[in-house]
A = this chain, B = another copy of it.
Amino acid sequence: MKIHNFSAGPCILPQEVFDKMAEAVLNFNNSGSSIMEISHRRADAQEVIDNAIQLVKDLMNVPDTHEVIFTQGGASLQFVMVPFNLMKLNGGKAAYTETGAWAKNAIKEAKRMGEVNVLASSADKNFNYIPKGFSIPSDVDYFHCTSNNTIFGTQMKSFPNSPVPLVCDMSSDIMSKPVDVSKFDVIYAGAQKNMGPAGSVVTIVKKDILGKTGRDIPNYLNYETHIAKGSAFNTWPVLAVYGVMLNLQWLKNLGGVPEIAKRNVAKAELMYGEIDRNGMFTGTAEKEDRSEMNATFVLKDESLKAEFDKMWKEAGISSLNGHRDVGGYRASMYNALPIESVQVLVDIMKEFETKFG
């Protein structure tokens, strides 16, 4: 049976990525060696990371003022690297918005290193909306926001004009729609949603903001280290980056970010249309802040949970359960999820309404 994979991440990737990865694990580029056993310094390995970096630049129209690096440790290590690289040693201050679990963790790390001004929070309504109307002070070292909140199903639809460096955690919606990279000073994203398998992080950083904090930054935590070494400061995660390269090639071949953005809008409209139409369900996020990546919804009548769960599982749908902080259901519709899978879910929701409504 075909599996419809709504996992919140690591998540569905295109079948051609699986096919090409399996081939490379056995025989990389017809070299007779597995991609798992070659030195990261070999010319054909170097091509992998160079291609992956170039694909990020091409797909996101990264200007020459910025550089793209691959590191490890997930967004969680970026929460640490951002203040190390941008927050002044003496009198360091930063502004954050608190829009969910990951934003909270980012704030926690910054607070260890300086003063943090939380400009706005949606904690009062379990993070079901994106706060607006705040102003960013001009006396902080940077402003940090989270573009998409997987757990709560909210997404920023626009970004503020910031008087200070603008930093954004785009882990769960990078490359889902066009963004103007020139507006940002740092964009980072764990690869395991729209970019590839778990095990690497992409950071896009404006070069001229670095080296100004007065901090003696550990080498691995210093963006300048990775820029200077072309992301090969130490052994990079070859399998993970190869997976990203394959996935970004797939995205480029199908028309890049503008094309995938159209598909993502169509999927989200289909999904939210059904949530709003169907009397059995309620969406949990404020409509204007709904995420195109993660649709969160609950049953109006929780006593029907066993029946609904049985129906979607029998249809081959997997990983639809909501996060424990929200409950209910979460349909994650990352780039590689075909609209056909959303249609299967919508059909099940309609059938559920017919049977139990």
Contact = CB atoms under 8 A, between A and B. Distances in A.
A72 B237 contact: yes
Contacts of A5: 33, 37
Contacts of A197: 36, 237-239
B198 A235 contact: yes
Question: Majority SS of interface residues in chain A?
Answer: loop
A234 B75 contact: yes
Interface string A17-36: 11101110110000011101
A191 to B, nearest CB: 9
Contact of A26 (B22, B112, B219, B240): B22
Residue from A5, A19, A218 with most neighbouring chain B CB atoms (10 Å): A218
Contacts of A40: 10, 198
A26 B19 contact: yes
Contacts of A196: 36
A80 interface: yes
Residue from A39, A197, A198 with most neighbouring chain B CB atoms (10 Å): A198
Given A72-B73, A219-B108, A220-B77, A36 B17 contact: yes
Contacts of A38: 7, 10
A233 interface: yes
A112 to B, nearest CB: 5
Interface of A: 1, 3, 5, 7-13, 17-19, 21-23, 25-26, 32-34, 36-40, 42, 71-77, 79-80, 105, 108-109, 112, 190, 192, 196-199, 216, 218-221, 233-240, 243, 318-319
